[in-house]
Amino acid sequence: MKICVDTAIFLDILKDEFRPLQEIFYSALSAKETLMVPVIVFAELLPQFGGDRALVASFLKDHKIEIFPLDIEGTIIAGRRWMKYLSKKTKAQCPHCGRTLSQKTHLLSDFYIGGFALAHCDSILTRDRGIYRKYFGDLKGYGGCLDKNVATPLNEA
């Protein structure tokens, strides 16, 4: 099975958080599943390694991760879902002063990862359930990761 691994899973491994999702990742690794990421995940991991590309490459290689470039098929999927997200995004204003309030926003990279997963993988392993359930509802979550109560922080496990 081809599994796209979201950046959040690697951050959880590095920070030793969200152990249930780490266990799902290591189970997939033990089962010799094909673990894949689009190159955007490499870029998102660079800050964790002080920008040292050799360290990022070594970390991903040690975890048996195959890195793939973004292609037009996955990018088109990402772009269309990004447009849907942008069309539904509303601006909130303070009811008292009328000032525009900042809202949590998703990054385009989340959509690239989802588009890559839909175009090239059988499922995704992620902690970010909301965006993938809402904008990539046709994407299967590996190990039930898109189900409720799977992503439990370390201190709650």
pLDDT digits (tens, 9 = 90+) for 22-62: 999 999 999 999 999 999 999 999 999 999 999 999 999 99
- CA of 103: how far to CAs of 53, 82, 90, 109, 120, in Å? 32, 16, 9, 18, 31
Instruction: Give the integer Cα–Cα distance in Å for 127 and 5.
Output: 10
Q: What is the pTM of this model?
A: 0.83
Q: In this structure, what is the dihedral angle of CA atoms 30, 141, 103, 80, given to the nearest 10 degrees? A: 120
Q: Domains in the chain, ordered, with CATH?
A: 2-87+103-141 (3.40.50.1010)
